């Protein structure tokens, strides 16, 4: 299989095990939502998964286009989003899909950039934004320095505490952990230094922030 087909197969498997919408990514949804433009009419969610952030976008946007490689993920997202007729879910590869220029008030990508050629995808998403539009990225990074390792160490008890509060258990079920672990063998992550270098080149003025739970965010206004 190609790398794209491998990712799609991984997430088709994970979708069938998907429980509630809470995970490490959704912990930062409201942080991202605080940076949405005030008059967000049309939004794009790249790598929508089961649609949790698409639904958050739909609460304050007229229309949301949500993309994912995995047919199973899109199927689950549609089922969970029946009360949001303003979301269009589409099985699509953002690398191959033609996006209209300057079309979206917000483009969001959560835990997806590390699966893609970052520079070319950022350029494509940048072109799809309207002037004044906002790009929101949340993703995982590869630790390389003292601050990264310290944040990682703090993330362990923080993760257990959140999981216990949100799910009533310290960790997801074993089969879910196994599916994510097997998928993780295919993953590679940028370091924060690489993220900042990319943003300096392609997204001048972007705010890159390190978070707990092994994640970083990028917020950029065009």
Greater confidence (50 vs 179) lies with 50
Greater confidence (143 vs 183) lies with 143
- The pair phi, psi for residue 137, each rounded to 5°, is -130, 135
Q: Which pLDDT does position 1 carry in this prediction?
A: 67
pLDDT digits (tens, 9 = 90+) for 126-172: 999 999 999 999 999 999 999 999 999 999 999 999 999 988 888 88
- The pair phi, psi for residue 84, each rounded to 5°, is -120, 80
Residue 88 DSSP SS3? strand
Domains of the chain listed by start with CATH number: 3-221 (3.40.50.150)
Closest CA to 136 of 15, 38, 44, 2: 44
Task: Name the average pLDDT for the chain.
Answer: 94
pTM for the full model? 0.94
**Cα 212 to Cα 184: distance, rounded to the nearest angstrom:** 19
Q: Which pLDDT does position 105 carry in this prediction?
A: 98
Enter the DSSP assignment of 148: H
- The pair phi, psi for residue 60, each rounded to 5°, is -125, 10
Q: Which pLDDT does position 171 carry in this prediction?
A: 83
**Cα 7 to Cα 94: distance, rounded to the nearest angstrom:** 13
């Amino acid at each position: 299989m190609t790398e794209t087909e491998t990712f799609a197969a991984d997430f088709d498997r994970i979708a069938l095990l998907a429980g509630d919408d809470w995970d490490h990514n959704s912990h930062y949804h409201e942080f991202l939502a605080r940076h949405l433009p005030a008059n967000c009419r049309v939004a794009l969610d790249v790598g929508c998964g089961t649609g949790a952030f698409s639904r958050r976008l739909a609460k304050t946007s007229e229309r949301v286009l949500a993309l994912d490689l995995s047919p199973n993920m899109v199927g689950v997202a549609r089922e969970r989003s029946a009360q949001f007729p303003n979301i269009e879910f589409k099985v699509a590869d953002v690398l191959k899909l033609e996006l209209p220029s300057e079309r979206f008030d917000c483009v969001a990508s959560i835990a997806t950039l590390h699966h893609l050629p970052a520079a070319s995808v950022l350029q494509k998403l940048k072109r799809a934004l309207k002037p004044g539009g906002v790009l929101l990225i949340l993703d995982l990074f590869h630790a390389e320095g003292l601050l990264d390792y310290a944040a990682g160490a703090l993330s362990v008890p923080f993760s257990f505490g959140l999981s216990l509060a949100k799910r009533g258990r310290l960790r997801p079920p074993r089969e879910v952990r196994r599916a994510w672990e097997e998928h993780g063998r295919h993953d590679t992550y940028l370091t924060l230094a690489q993220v900042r270098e990319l943003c300096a080149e392609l997204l001048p003025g972007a705010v890159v922030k390190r978070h707990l739970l092994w994640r970083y965010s990028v917020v950029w206004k065009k």
